[in-house]
């Protein structure tokens, strides 16, 4: 029995080192050096080459390197009947909440404007936006959205969350389902996207959505680039309906050099780092599922393939 890393874009060694430290006996293979394909029972994946997983006829688990599984489920040749798991671990919401708090405070305290003032040697105090006057609306109230919502409430923001099913989170106004979306959006001074990418959420950050936001709203997209309809977004920025955005994820990653987002003064860009998978925190969870395969126990953090998350 062996565990295969199949993640061509990732820097694998820290993850392998961590797994080996936890279990020196583990048979670890790194794609494309797979050895005997029939040995592979768990594949740890991030943007695997589509169709490749069909080659492992004894596969029991396709594990995502991250919280999202869209990169797995987009494979039209995914082996049938193999469970797909994802990362659910406290380091993920910790990183993500820090990132969205930083972005929200950056917006309220207008740091981007002061950065520009520094370049121009301009001394110009501005009255900041008070947290209590700002409504932060979070799309997606799962492991990441719920944690961010709770922490933003503690900072004094008015916080609402949108999900498929209603939630009870102290201090957070819950909106559920498509019928509640317009009301949810109508209050959002800062809109944060923390949805999984599914057929229902692809392109959800579009013209219709932006039109329902109050004028001057700010967007933080930390979910997936394909949630955002780029042309609609640029139009909304151009006409001033959106005041700016912090984007961590993009349709094409790395973001191409000639992409208009790079030069836009009101767009903050980070390279898909809002919540990275920490090897030390996350590899024990992968190993646990590997041992569960051996002992025939149910796997943890299995996703619903039909639902898409």
Site residues (CB under 6 A) for ligand NAP, limited to 24-63: none
Task: Please report how close the Cβ of residue 245 comes to ligand GLV at its closest, in angstroms.
Answer: 18
State the binding partner of 3 from ligand GLV, ligand NAP, none, CB within 5 to 8 A by kind: none
Structure tokens at 35: 């050895």
Residues with Cβ within 8 Å of residue 50, at least 6 apart in sequence: 74, 75, 76, 77
H or E element at residue 113 = helix 111-119
Check residue 100 for interaction with ligand NAP (CB under 6 A): no
Q: Is residue 140 a contact residue for ligand NAP (CB under 6 A)?
A: yes
- 190 three-state secondary structure: strand
From the centroid of its chain, how far is CA 153?
Answer: 21
For ligand NAP, the binding residue among 201, 219, 237, 282 (CB under 6 A) is 201
What residues contact residue 264 under an 8 Å CB cut-off, 6+ apart?
234, 237
Q: Could you say whether residue 301 binds ligand NAP (CB under 6 A)? A: no
Residue selected from 40, 45, 66, 189 as contacting ligand GLV according to rule CB under 6 A: 66
Question: What is the Cα–Cα distance from 204 to 182, expressed in whole angstroms?
Answer: 12
User: Which residues inside 170-199 make contact with ligand GLV, applying CB under 6 A?
Assistant: none
Q: Determine whether 210 is exposed, middle or buried from the number of CB atoms within 10 Å of its CB (0-12, 13-18, 19+).
A: buried
- Which one of 11-19, 56-64, 138-146, 150-158 is the stretch in contact with ligand NAP (CB under 6 A)? 138-146
C-alpha to C-alpha distance for 70 and 291, rounded to whole angstroms: 25
Q: Which member of 3, 67, 159, 303 binds ligand GLV (CB under 6 A)?
A: 67
Residues lying near ligand GLV in the complex (CB under 6 A) are found at: 66-68
Residues lying near ligand NAP in the complex (CB under 6 A) are found at: 66-68, 92, 140-145, 162-165, 194-198, 200-201, 222-224, 248-249, 272, 274-275, 309
């Amino acid at each position: 029995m062996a565990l295969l890393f199949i993640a061509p874009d990732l820097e694998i060694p820290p993850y392998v080192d961590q797994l080996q430290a936890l279990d020196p006996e583990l048979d670890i293979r790194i794609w494309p050096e797979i050895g005997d394909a029939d040995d592979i029972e768990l594949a740890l994946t991030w943007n695997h080459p589509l169709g490749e997983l069909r080659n492992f006829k004894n596969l029991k688990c396709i594990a995502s390197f991250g919280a999202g599984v869209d990169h797995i489920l987009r494979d039209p040749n995914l082996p049938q009947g193999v469970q797909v798991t994802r990362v659910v671990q406290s380091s993920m919401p910790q990183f993500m909440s820090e990132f969205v708090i930083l972005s929200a405070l950056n917006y309220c305290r207008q740091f981007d404007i002061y950065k520009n003032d520094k370049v121009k040697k301009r001394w110009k105090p501005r009255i900041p936006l008070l947290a209590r006057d700002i409504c932060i609306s979070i799309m997606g109230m799962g492991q990441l959205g719920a944690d961010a919502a709770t922490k933003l409430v503690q900072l004094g923001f008015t916080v609402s969350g949108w999900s498929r099913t209603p939630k009870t989170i102290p201090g957070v106004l819950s909106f559920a389902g498509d019928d509640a979306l317009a009301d949810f959006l109508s209050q959002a001074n800062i809109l944060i996207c923390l949805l999984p990418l599914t057929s229902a959420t692809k392109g959800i950050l579009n013209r219709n959505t932006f039109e329902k936001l109050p004028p001057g709203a700010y967007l933080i997209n930390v979910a997936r680039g394909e949630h955002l309809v780029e042309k609609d977004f640029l139009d909304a920025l151009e006409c001033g309906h959106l005041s700016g955005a912090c984007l961590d994820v993009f349709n094409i990653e790395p973001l191409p050099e000639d992409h208009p987002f790079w030069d836009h003064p009101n767009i903050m860009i980070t390279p898909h780092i809002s919540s990275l998978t920490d090897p030390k925190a996350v590899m024990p969870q992968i190993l646990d599922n590997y041992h569960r395969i051996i002992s025939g126990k149910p796997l943890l953090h299995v996703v619903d393939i039909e639902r898409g998350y």
